[in-house]
Amino acid sequence: MRNITEIKKRKLDEICNPLLSESDVEARMAAERLSKEAASFGLGLDKFLDLAVDLSSGDEAAAYNNGKGLSGFEQVMLRMNLPMRNNFKNQVTLAQASDTFATKPGSRILFPYAIDNVLRWNNNLDQMEKVSDLLSGSRTTSGNELIRIVAEDDVNARKTFRVGEGANIPMRKVRYSEKAVTFYKHGSGIEYTYEFERRAALDIITPFAARVARDLEISKMNAATNIMINGDGVNGAATALSQATLDAAATNGKISYDGLLAALATAIKKYHAIDTIAGNIDAYLQLMKLFGLSASSAYEVDQLAEKGGPKFLTLSNIFTPVKFVLDSSVPEGKLLMFNRPDTLEEIVEANSRIEEENRNVNSQIIQYVRTENTGYSLIYPDCRYVYTYKA
């Protein structure tokens, strides 16, 4: 994979004119060259164009600096007559994009990105389940990725990190195992059998594309959750915590306040502050009731304090704020608890979208395909806990 510092800066006309060529053959060839160049840097076409368009001078710089704030990719979309939303006041409609796709085959390389932009404007509701809520970070790789292992020189030194005079500094060693990260291809698509020239209307495809995007995210979340719970083949399964053991008085199948508090305390004793809990919708409803204000609640101290009662100012806030993540992949009766910055990293395989982009350029049918090749790698394997409240 080439370094992004090698990306050649160019003017808009240098990028767009070949794609808008009167010769269909030349336009298709220009689109394929552009797609392959972006893939050689491990970037999608949108990120590549953000870096490739020269914003240092000329009209491109003016569009970026003079209040419009248009990135390189956005300027290419505008130059190609591919609006991101209907704006009737300024006489901009999605039908213009349909005309471009119908008459300029080179522009079809931008078809999936145009759909993504329309989705971003038309759908104000966030995706309910987003794999990003589970991740420490995400990066792109162009080849195989080996699973990492973190080893301590001295486990006891971890308790203080105090280094005596002349003593060795405790080190964590990160090494690679012989087992590779497993990459999964996630995604689906929709296809219209009418000719592209007649039916490439963005507003026709938008509602179906929204479902494609949602299915992709749920599939990625399933893979990430499975690794966090069961391990990755080198690092083992998450630490098991039983509510029945932590709170003997708890009712099976009902999340216990005392049990949950004990689970959080267990993690703190191991120097892991839990900041994220993932669970399915049933778990969410239970937690909502458990921590919601209720006159019948057994824990009314906070409620009384809000109404003028005494506050325990001497108690420090040792429990960090915990975010709940809706995750239908977590099994019934369980909660996945973890420290997000230390737990899971997403690795995206480069070039996974080029096939779909080129198919749009060379086909006479409408296709919208959304795929990603992703794998997931544990960072520190000891920051994950599975809390079981239903045996």
Residue 295 pLDDT grade (very low, low, confident, very high; cuts 50, 70, 90) = very low
**pLDDT of the residue at 149:** 81
| 3-class DSSP state of 334 | strand
**pLDDT of the residue at 305:** 60
**pLDDT of the residue at 353:** 61
Structure tokens at 79: 């130059």
Q: Are 4 and 43 in contact (CB under 8 A)?
A: yes
Per 3-state DSSP, what percentage of the chain is helix, strand, and coil (rounded to 5)?
Answer: 45, 20, 35
**pLDDT of the residue at 143:** 67
Average pLDDT over residues 33-51: 87
pLDDT of 170 over the 90 cut: no
**pLDDT of the residue at 40:** 84
Q: Picking from 100-104, 185-189, 325-329, 383-387, which range would have the lowest pLDDT averaged per residue? A: 100-104
Q: Picking from 104-113, 188-197, 274-283, which range would have the lowest pLDDT averaged per residue? A: 188-197
Alpha-carbon radius of gyration of the chain: 26
Q: What is the pTM of this model?
A: 0.74
Query: 125-158 burial, b if ≥16 CB within 10 A, otherwise e?
Result: eebebbbebbbbeeebbeeebebbeeeeeeeebe
Query: How would you class 281 by CB atoms within 10 Å of its CB: exposed for 0-12, middle for 13-18, buried for 19 or more?
Result: exposed
Cβ-Cβ contacts under 8 Å for 229 (sequence gap 6 or more): 237, 238, 330, 331, 336, 384, 386
Q: Are 349 and 375 in contact (CB under 8 A)?
A: yes
Neighbours of 287 (CB within 10 A): 17
Average pLDDT over residues 177-190: 86
pLDDT of 99 over the 50 cut: yes
**pLDDT of the residue at 109:** 86
**pLDDT of the residue at 103:** 81
What are the residue ranges of helices labelled H in 153-292?
196-199, 202-230, 243-246, 257-269, 281-291
**pLDDT of the residue at 302:** 60
pLDDT of 230 over the 90 cut: yes
What pLDDT digit, counting tens, does each position of 9-19 carry? Answer: 999 999 999 99
What pLDDT digit, counting tens, does each position of 59-88 carry? Answer: 777 766 665 678 889 889 888 888 766 655
**pLDDT of the residue at 145:** 83
Average pLDDT over residues 15-30: 92
**pLDDT of the residue at 278:** 96
Q: What is the mean pLDDT of the chain?
A: 81
What pLDDT digit, counting tens, does each position of 341-387 carry? Answer: 999 999 988 766 655 565 666 666 667 778 888 999 999 888 999 99
**pLDDT of the residue at 93:** 62
pLDDT of 333 over the 70 cut: yes
Query: How would you class 364 by CB atoms within 10 Å of its CB: exposed for 0-12, middle for 13-18, buried for 19 or more?
Result: exposed
Q: Are 215 and 113 in contact (CB under 8 A)?
A: no
Average pLDDT over residues 190-214: 72
| 148 or 136: which leads in pLDDT | 136
pLDDT of 197 over the 70 cut: no
pLDDT of 322 over the 60 cut: yes
Structure tokens at 304: 């009384």
CA dist 27 to 34, 50, 100, 182, Å? 11, 21, 12, 37
**pLDDT of the residue at 126:** 55
